[in-house]
Homo-oligomer: A and B are copies of this chain.
Amino acid sequence: MNQLILKTPLSEAQEDYLKQILLLSSGGTGSLEPTLAVSTQDLADEMQIKPASVTGMLKKLSEHGLVEHEAYRGVRLTATGYKVALEVLRHHRLIEAYLHQALGYGWEEVHAEAERLEHHISEAFEARIAEWLGHPSHDPHGDPIPSAQLELPQDAPSQRLSSLEDGEYGLVMRVATQDQDALNLLARLGIRPGAKVEMLMLGHSVEGTRVRVGEQRYLLPTNLAQMVWVSPLGDEYAG
């Protein structure tokens, strides 16, 4: 149905560039509205590629009409590039959800497998796993999955765990990192989408953030506490 028709089918590298431009341009907030232009350096860092190589690829993507690249001032997705990026992201997140729910992968091990497979599945495969999953709106990390029409789900408002008030409760909505170590650690602590956390009294300090998860109390380093997005819960849900 929605498969984009492009003159040239895109390579794995090109698809990854477009996806990363989208993720970086929406600044880690998960909103996926491409606002800012993305710098060569940021792409290079994120993709573990040298800046000179990034420039070369941006030139090619620009010739194909997928990005607009103004020399020395960064790159933005065109309308077409944005759609391709959403399509790749849909593949990635559907695959993550399928690996987790159908094949029993841990939510912290799905990313690497999805990173490769996203480029190699057919539209038929996409359709069948979406069907099997019941057309989910979010992946196992709480990231939104673009629909088959590439529309994004409306997300409930959320805030970083690190910004909860002392004594406040939050429902974990998203864990916004692909860092393997961070995912492993948070998985071990039980901090995953759907979990309930309480910000302890005097919870904020220079060493990090003190929270309760189930029976356990933890001191989360600030960088970890910023990756976790929660939806505040009124005290009536405090149990």
Q: A120 near B: Cβ within 8 Å?
A: yes
> What's the dominant secondary structure at chain A's contact region?
helix
The answer to whether B117 touches A113 (Cβ under 8 A) is: no
Stretch at the interface among A38-46, A125-133, A165-173: A125-133
Fill in one digit per residue for A112-125: 1 if any B CB lies within 8 Å of its CB, else 0: 11001101111011
With CB as the reference atom, state the residue of chain B lying closest to A128.
Answer: B103
Select A113's contact among B105, B113, B116, B122, beta carbons within 8 Å. Answer: B122
Select A124's contact among B113, B116, B117, B124, beta carbons within 8 Å. Answer: B113
9 A-B residue pairs with CB within 8 Å: A99-B125, A103-B125, A103-B129, A105-B124, A109-B124, A112-B122, A117-B117, A119-B120, A120-B120
Chain A interfacial positions (CB closer than 8 Å to B): 99, 102-105, 109, 112-113, 116-117, 119-122, 124-125, 128-129, 132
